[in-house]
Structure 1
């Protein structure tokens, strides 16, 4: 039981306290019975009982006993409720870590001058999307996974830093295959779409595609065919293009990604011209995916009943130990 796991001694202590109060409540009754057995008989007690002071003491004792009984009953009821583990519904839709983002980078020759800038922009973007799963795929004529989807922020940052160094050493191993050409954007995007695991279709999914859209070769998938796959799988495509890229190529890229609800953001010297555009689009899609799978969760409600039980037990015990009460009983 979650209550016993969180407060392993709370119920035990409360039950012991209740037993102490009940014992303190019953002990005077037993003491009074013993006194009655050894008491000296008195006559004309009816006159004594008519005295105002006597009647005042009787009423005071009855009030005290009534309050003690109520306190003990309330404390007992609270303990019974605590054993039943009270809970309230909580509209927690678990919005964090509900999105997958694949960074899809064109590492062809035409992008070599800006790839470092794009990687730095990716790092800033990853910081802004902390808590989401992020992966990186590089492609030229073939695609290679640099690191898979993960929500480890330190690992993501270190891998992006290492990948930036690897770019200085030459072509990325695994990013070129055969003689089909280079910068095969459609094939690269289609490969990036395959990096999403299919275990949970309810998660929001985004591909951040960095390319100048300068095709040089014969791809298996055209850009439009890859876009249709993204639309079918409900994947948002946000494009990142160098600010120096050909305007016509950027326009074609914009029209293509618009079918998924995405847009094109230009990168200039490690800075995205409008980074909030990608972040907002990712979060909006995440909110839609979350709302579609919203569920109610329960949160334990312990402290009100625990505090009330404790107050009642302390009050009942204090009244029993009140020196004025002992004087009255004597």
Structure 2
């Protein structure tokens, strides 16, 4: 906000008060009123004190007026600070894509909690969650209702946590309520008998959750799987990744580890992800989540045309207060010098 008008008014008012006060004083000195037999007054202590006080008041008026002019000059100069900011974009769509097959039991709770940590850093982005095994299910579509997102992620993390003691599902007894919450959560992901963890088809299904195809929005999939495929997928992993990439969707893969094909699964997943310009992160890396979020935000900002902007912030308060106080002081001193 510009305070040039306030500066001008205060400056004019201060100069007017100063001019009127000292013009009157000079006029009085030029046209004295002669009174006979008053020379003795100059020897009276009270008269001497009054003259001294008058001189001090006039000097104070001059000093305050100068201070007011300095304050007005500072105010009109618009003291400000500058900082450079890169605009953040809230037009991001992010699909969280989670493998809930048996080989992922050990990791799913941790990954869902990791997803929740990511959501805490978002501000306006739309988020969706899709889970898959032999078939896929959408837990919630793209939304920016963060209370719902956190609630569903927490519910899923609790429902699928069957390995807190290091055992897989089926090796120990669980309360019926616990089993029921798990079954409800993964409902719809076991649609093909004798098949599990159809990773390529799960990835391709996640790519279909993006709506507003014509809108200028950035799109990302955060894909968590161990890539242990047990069945006959429609797509190969490379085809699924290319299908996602062809729609302008960035791919970020979380690899938690694998029981059976550790190196093979990892290398295949890494190659497919990096082939489309994506990034692969391992859950064993403590910097994986911050790095992923930073990469998403940085890449998306570039894609959406973000450029650094200089933000200028005025700080008029000091000059305004000094000028106002100087004006008040000039008025008070002017009244006192009458």
Q: Answer yes or no: is the 8 Å Cα contact 1:237–1:262 preserved in 2.
A: yes
Residues 148/279 of structure 1: CA separation in 2 closer, same or farther (3 Å cut): farther
2: CA distance between counterparts of 1:125 and 1:245?
A: 25
What does residue 45 of structure 2 align with?
none
1: CA distance between counterparts of 2:331 and 2:291?
A: 64
Residues 254/37 of structure 1: CA separation in 2 closer, same or farther (3 Å cut): closer
Q: Which structure's relative contact order is higher, taking Cα pairs within 8 Å and 6+ residues apart?
A: 2
> Does the alignment pair 1:224 with 2:235?
no
Deviations 1:288-323 (A, max 9, x none): 43355224153431x2x3311321332354356459
What does residue 46 of structure 1 align with?
none
What does residue 193 of structure 1 align with?
207
* Runs (5+) with no aligned partner, structure 2: 37-51, 160-179
Deviations 1:254-280 (A, max 9, x none): 322232342253xxxxxx322423431
Residues 179/297 of structure 1: CA separation in 2 closer, same or farther (3 Å cut): farther
> Does the alignment pair 1:296 with 2:309?
yes
Q: Answer yes or no: is the 8 Å Cα contact 1:238–1:278 preserved in 2.
A: no
**TM-score normalised by L of structure 1:** 0.65
1: CA distance between counterparts of 2:281 and 2:321?
A: 62
Q: Answer yes or no: is the 8 Å Cα contact 2:103–2:258 preserved in 1.
A: no
Q: Which of 21, 25, 31 is 1:28 aligned to?
A: 21
**TM-score normalised by L of structure 2:** 0.64
> Does the alignment pair 1:209 with 2:220?
no
Q: Which of 262, 273, 290 is 1:279 aligned to?
A: 290
* Runs (5+) with no aligned partner, structure 1: 5-9, 44-55, 266-271
| Equivalenced residues, count | 292
Q: Which of 115, 120, 125 is 2:105 aligned to?
A: 115
What does residue 145 of structure 1 align with?
138
Secondary structure of the corresponding residue to residue 105 of structure 1: strand
Q: Which of 254, 258, 261 is 1:239 aligned to?
A: 254
Q: Which of 88, 112, 117 is 1:127 aligned to?
A: 117
Deviations 1:158-192 (A, max 9, x none): 21122242762257344355779553322211221
